[in-house]
C-alpha cells in the first residue's frame, strides 16, 4: 500500500507570523507596558491622595494610635470567635493570624507609651 503523505510530512519552514513578527512584538510590548508599568513609570507619577477613606489631618498621633489599638483588639476578638468554629489547618492559620494581631497591638501600645501627652 502506498502512503500519500511523507514520513514526516513536509512543512513550510516559514512561519505565517514571520513577516509581521516585528509588528506583533511591538504590539505585545505596548500591551505589557500599558498593563504592567515599570517602577520608573510608577514613581514618575505623583501620588494622589484618596479621599474615599481618609484620616482627619488634625487628628493627633495619640488619637490615631488609640484607634489603631482598639481596631486591632476588635479584629482579634472576631478572629477568636471564628476559631471556635473551625478545626485543623484553618484553625491553626487563624490562630497564627491572631498572634500577628497581638504582636501588632503590643507594638502599637509601645508606640502610645512613648508619645508624650500634650501640655
Domain membership of residue 4 (yes or no) is no
42-45: Cβ within 8 A, 24+ apart: none
Q: Which three cell numbers stand for residue 58?
A: 488634625
Domain membership of residue 11 (yes or no) is no
* pLDDT for the residue 82: 92
The rounded percent of the chain whose pLDDT value lies above 70 is: 82
* Residue 94 domain boundaries: 61-114
Average pLDDT, the chain: 82
46: which DSSP letter? P
pLDDT above 80 (res 65): yes
Residues 17/24, Cβ–Cβ less than 8 Å: yes
Read off the pTM: 0.53
Number of domains comprising the chain: 1
For residue 108, the tally of other CB atoms under 10 A from its CB is 20
Amino acid at each position: 500500500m502506498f502512503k500519500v503523505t511523507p514520513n514526516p510530512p513536509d512543512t513550510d519552514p516559514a512561519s505565517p507570523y514571520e513577516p509581521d513578527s516585528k509588528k506583533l512584538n511591538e504590539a505585545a510590548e505596548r500591551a505589557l507596558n500599558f498593563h504592567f508599568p515599570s517602577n520608573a513609570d510608577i514613581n514618575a507619577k505623583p501620588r494622589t491622595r484618596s479621599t474615599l477613606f481618609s484620616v482627619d489631618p488634625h487628628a493627633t498621633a495619640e488619637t490615631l494610635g488609640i484607634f489603631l489599638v482598639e481596631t486591632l483588639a476588635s479584629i482579634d476578638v472576631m478572629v477568636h470567635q471564628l476559631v471556635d468554629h473551625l478545626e485543623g489547618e484553618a484553625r491553626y492559620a487563624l490562630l497564627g493570624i491572631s498572634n500577628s494581631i497581638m504582636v501588632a497591638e503590643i507594638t502599637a501600645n509601645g508606640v502610645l507609651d512613648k508619645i508624650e501627652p500634650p501640655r
